[in-house]
Amino acid sequence: MYILGIESSCDETSVAILENDKVLTNLIYSQSFHKLYGGVVPELSSRAHLQTIKPLLDQAVKEANLTLNDIDIITATAGPGLIGALLVGLTFAKGLAFSTGKPFIPVNHIEGHIFSSFLMTPKPQFPVLTLVVSGGHTMLLNVLSDYEIIKLGSTVDDAAGEAFDKVAKLLGLGYPGGPAISKAAESGKRSAIKFPISELKNKYDFSYSGIKTAVLYHVQRNYPDGNIPQEDINNICASFEYAAITALTNKIELALKEFDFNSISVVGGVAANKYLKEQVLEIGNKYKKQVVFPDLSYCGDNAAMIAYRGYKIYQSGKTFSLDYKAFPSFFSEYFKNM
**165 vs 301, which CB is nearer to Zn ion?**
301
Determine the 3-state secondary structure of 59 from DSSP: helix
Cβ burial, residue 141 (10 Å; 0-12/13-18/19+): buried
42 binds, among Zn ion, ligand KG4, none (CB under 5 to 8 A by kind): none
Cα separations in angstroms, 208 against 53, 104, 192, 224, 317: 34, 38, 19, 24, 40
Between β-strands 290-292 and 263-267, what pairing exists: parallel, antiparallel or unpaired?
parallel
**261 vs 330, which CB is nearer to Zn ion?**
330
Q: Pick from 10, 27, 73, 211: which binds ligand KG4 (CB under 6 A)?
A: 10
179 binds, among ligand KG4, Zn ion, none (CB under 5 to 8 A by kind): ligand KG4
Count the residues of the shown chain that bind ligand KG4, applying the rule CB under 6 A: 20
DSSP assignment of 138-186: EEEEEEEETTEEEEEEEBSSS-HHHHHHHHHHHTT--SSHHHHHHHHHT
CB of 274: closest distance to ligand KG4 in angstroms?
7
Edge to edge, what strands does the sheet with 263-267 contain? Answer: 148-154, 138-145, 128-133, 263-267, 290-292
161 binds, among ligand KG4, Zn ion, none (CB under 5 to 8 A by kind): ligand KG4
Q: Where are the beta strands (DSSP E) in 172-328?
A: 263-267, 290-292
**115 vs 164, which CB is nearer to ligand KG4?**
164
176 binds, among Zn ion, ligand KG4, none (CB under 5 to 8 A by kind): ligand KG4
Q: Which of residues 124-143 bind ligand KG4 (CB under 6 A)?
A: 134-136
Q: Where are the beta strands (DSSP E) in the chain?
A: 2-7, 12-19, 22-30, 73-79, 104-108, 128-133, 138-145, 148-154, 263-267, 290-292
Q: Which of residues 281-310 bind ligand KG4 (CB under 6 A)?
A: 300-301
CB of 11: closest distance to ligand KG4 in angstroms?
8
Centre a 10 Å sphere on the Cβ of residue 217 and count the other Cβ atoms it contains: 9
CB of 8: closest distance to ligand KG4 in angstroms?
12
**What count of Cα atoms within 13 Å lies in the side-chain half-sphere of residue 32?**
2
CB of 123: closest distance to ligand KG4 in angstroms?
20
CB of 112: closest distance to ligand KG4 in angstroms?
9
CB of 238: closest distance to ligand KG4 in angstroms?
13
Q: Which residues bind Zn ion (CB under 5 A)?
A: 134, 301
Please give the angle made by the CA atoms of 12, 144 and 297, to the nearest 5 degrees.
Answer: 25
**2 vs 118, which CB is nearer to Zn ion?**
118
**What count of Cα atoms within 13 Å lies in the side-chain half-sphere of residue 233?**
17
Residues in contact with ligand KG4, shown as a per-residue x/- string from 253 to 282 under the rule CB under 6 A: ---------------xxx-xx---------
Q: Pick from 106, 124, 178, 310: which binds ligand KG4 (CB under 6 A)?
A: 178
Footprint of ligand KG4 on this chain (CB under 6 A)? 10, 134-136, 161-162, 164-165, 176-179, 182, 268-270, 272-273, 300-301
